[in-house]
Chain A
Amino acid sequence: MNYEELLIQLIKEDERIVVMTAENRAAIRNLPDIIKDRFIDVGIAEQTMIGMAAGLALRGRIPIVHSLAAFLTMRAFEFIRTDVGIGNLPVKLVGAVPGFLSDGNGPTHQAIEDISLMRSIPPVNIFCPSDEEDMLLGMREVILHPSPFYIRYNNLKPAVEHNTGFRIGKAEVISEGRDIVILTYGILLKEAVEAAGILQSEGRSVGVINLRTLKPIDEELLKSICLSEVLVVTLEDHFITGGLYSILSECLVKDKIRCNVLPVALENKWFKPALLPDVLEYEGFTAEKIAGRINNELIKLSKREEYSI
Chain B
Amino acid sequence: MKKKSKKELEETAFRVREHIIRLATDGGCFIGASLSCADLIVYLYNNFLNINKDNLNHPERDYLFLSKGHDVPALYGTLAELGIIEKERLKNHLKTNDFIYWHPNTRIPGIEYHSGSLGHLLSVSMGVAKDCLLKNQDNKVVVILGDGELNEGSVWEGLLVASAHKLNNMVAVVDRNQFQANIRTEELIPIEPLEKKFESFGWTPYRCNGHDFDDLEKTFSKLPFRENRPSVIIAETIRGKGLPSIESRADRWFCNFTHDEIDHLLQELHSKVKTDLKSETLTVR
The answer to whether A40 and B165 touch across the interface, beta carbons within 8 angstroms, is yes
Given contacts A45-B157, A51-B158, A52-B127, contact A59 B114 (CB under 8 A): no
A55 touches which of B106, B117, B128, B154 (Cβ 8 Å):
B128
Given contacts A45-B160, A59-B132, A61-B131, contact A79 B120 (CB under 8 A): yes
Q: Which of B217-259 contact A (CB under 8 A)?
A: none
Q: Give Cα A61 to B134, complex, Å.
A: 11
The answer to whether A87 and B113 touch across the interface, beta carbons within 8 angstroms, is yes
The answer to whether B131 and A48 touch across the interface, beta carbons within 8 angstroms, is no
Interface residues on A, range: 20 to 34
B123 part of interface (Cβ distance < 8 Å): yes
Residue of B at shortest CB range from A47? B154
Q: Which residues of A contact B165 (CB under 8 A)?
A: 40, 42
A51 touches which of B106, B126, B132, B134 (Cβ 8 Å):
B126
The answer to whether A43 and B164 touch across the interface, beta carbons within 8 angstroms, is yes
The answer to whether A52 and B114 touch across the interface, beta carbons within 8 angstroms, is no
A50 part of interface (Cβ distance < 8 Å): yes
Interface 1/0 per residue, A33-67 and B, CB below 8 Å: 00001101011010111111111111111010000
Q: Give Cα A52 to B121, complex, Å.
A: 9
Question: Main SS of the interface on chain A?
Answer: helix
Q: Which residues of B contact A40 (CB under 8 A)?
A: 130, 165
Given contacts A40-B165, A45-B161, A47-B154, contact A52 B134 (CB under 8 A): no
Interface residues on B, range: 20 to 34
Interface 1/0 per residue, A168-188 and B, CB below 8 Å: 000000000000000000000
Given contacts A45-B160, A47-B154, contact A59 B128 (CB under 8 A): yes
Q: Which residues of B contact A53 (CB under 8 A)?
A: 127
B123 touches which of A38, A48, A57, A61 (Cβ 8 Å):
A48
Q: Least Cβ distance of B28 to chain A in Å?
A: 24
The answer to whether A58 and B113 touch across the interface, beta carbons within 8 angstroms, is yes
Q: Least Cβ distance of A53 to chain B in Å?
A: 6
Q: Give Cα A63 to B124, complex, Å.
A: 13
B75 part of interface (Cβ distance < 8 Å): no
Q: Which residues of A contact B168 (CB under 8 A)?
A: none
Q: Which residues of A contact B120 (CB under 8 A)?
A: 51, 79, 82-83
Q: Which residues of B contact A86 (CB under 8 A)?
A: 114
Given contacts A56-B128, A59-B128, contact A47 B123 (CB under 8 A): yes
Given contacts A54-B124, A58-B124, A83-B120, contact A48 B134 (CB under 8 A): no
Q: Which residues of A contact B128 (CB under 8 A)?
A: 55-56, 58-59
Q: Which residues of B contact A45 (CB under 8 A)?
A: 157-158, 160-161
Given contacts A47-B119, A51-B127, A87-B106, 16 further A-B contacts (CB under 8 A): A18-B134, A43-B160, A43-B161, A47-B123, A47-B154, A47-B157, A52-B130, A54-B124, A55-B130, A56-B127, A58-B112, A59-B59, A60-B131, A63-B127, A79-B123, A82-B120
Binding site for A on B (CB under 8 A): 59, 106, 112-114, 117, 119-132, 134, 154, 157-158, 160-161, 164-165
Binding site for B on A (CB under 8 A): 18, 37-38, 40, 42-43, 45, 47-61, 63, 78-79, 82-83, 86-87
